[in-house]
Amino acid sequence: MEINLPNEGMPKIPPMKSTPLIFLFVILFVIFSGAGSLFYQVSADEVGVVQRFGKYARTANPGLQMKLPFGIETVRLIKVTHVFKEEFGFRTVQSGPRSVYAGREIDQNRSQNFRLNNRNFANGGDPFLEESMMLTGDLNVAVVEWIIQYTIKDPVQYAFRIRNPRETIRNMSEAIMRLVVGDKTIKEVLTQEREEIGYEVQRKLQEVLDSYGLGVAIQNVILQEVTPPDEVKPSFNEVNEARQEKEKVVNQAWEEYNRVIPKAKGEAEQLIRSAEGYALERINKALGDAERFNLSLAAYQAAPVVTKKRLYLEMLDQVMPELREKMFMDDAQKGLLPLLNLNQEHQGVEK
């Protein structure tokens, strides 16, 4: 240093002509580096939040845009039409585009700590289970996996209001899911109210994030797999099996019932119809007989004595040829002496 100071005439060493050349290089360098920071591109799904000396200046739309160079203006690109997704209790194996956020060193340390904690918390367990395992209002344990989808509705708020928005969204989503599930029974959580829980979490999460001025809109909170914990699952399945078994047994019983009863009903109907047939027959027969009697009575009354004799003789006409043996006896005779015994075969029978 001491030596250099008196040697102020350092430019003496290069020839005089080179000095304008250096200036030219400097100027060219300045121009190129300036041009490089002068233009920037905003993609179709983004907007650019431009800051001049750190202060918010304007929001730039998609396309090729200009800003003041040399760090006077800086730009942050924020994806406003992109639907961001956060998964809880599981992770899609092929990780999709991750939201870009400016992580600071301290943040990273922090999340490192957090992960370590997590491991403690889980007692060596599955870290995803730590996210998804929760207490229900009836003090049971349910494993709830869910996703949230959100968009950035206010890029300026999103850029400046909160540090590490993604972690805030994640933390609050977990807190609120547990708050909501904590007010339900395991039965509701497992079966009936999945959609309702989703809506409730969405509404409450939006409220909280709006209160921070985070500038995101929660599009969806969707419950994925909701199960009892693994340890309990077999016994829950057993309940389901028993329920199905019950239904099966009951169905079989009804099947038997349905097989027997309609048949019996048919048979009963048959019995009744045939009784009705009997009744018709009986009455018609009676009516017929009565009619016949009435008519013959009328005829008889016209000539009673003759008719009576005629009927009697007619009967004898029918009876006599059919008789096997006819015996005639004088009424004065007291013994049983046959007057006629013409039937030879009869003797064999008598013997």
What residues between 305 and 334 interact with another protein by CB under 8 A? 308, 311-312, 314-316, 318-319, 322-331
**Interacting residues of 66 by C-beta distance below 8 A, sequence separation 6+:** 38, 39, 40
Residue 197 CB-density burial (10 A; 0-12 exposed, 13-18 middle, 19+ buried): buried
Minimum CB–partner distance for residue 44 and another protein (Å) = 25
Q: How far is CA 99 from the centre of its chain?
A: 31
Nearer residue to another protein within complex by CB, 2 or 44: 2
3-state secondary structure of 228: coil
Our finding on whether 27 is near another protein (CB under 8 A) is no
* Spatial separation of the C-alpha atoms in residues 56 and 52, rounded to whole Å: 6
Residues 103-142 that bind another protein (CB under 8 A): 106, 109-110, 114, 117, 120-121, 123, 130, 133-141
How many positions of this chain bind another protein (CB under 8 A)? 130
* Spatial separation of the C-alpha atoms in residues 48 and 65, rounded to whole Å: 9
Residues 164-223 that bind another protein (CB under 8 A): 164, 167-168, 171-172, 174-176, 178-179, 182-188, 190-191, 208, 211-213
* CB-based contact 169:214 (threshold 8 Å): yes
* Of 30, 31, 268, 303, the one binding another protein by CB under 8 A: 268
Nearer residue to another protein within complex by CB, 7 or 81: 7
* Of 75, 159, 205, 216, the one binding another protein by CB under 8 A: 159
The window from 28-36, 37-45, 82-90, 280-288 that contacts another protein (CB under 8 A) reads 280-288
Nearer residue to another protein within complex by CB, 225 or 325: 325
Residue 189 CB-density burial (10 A; 0-12 exposed, 13-18 middle, 19+ buried): buried
Token pair for 227: 């199960």
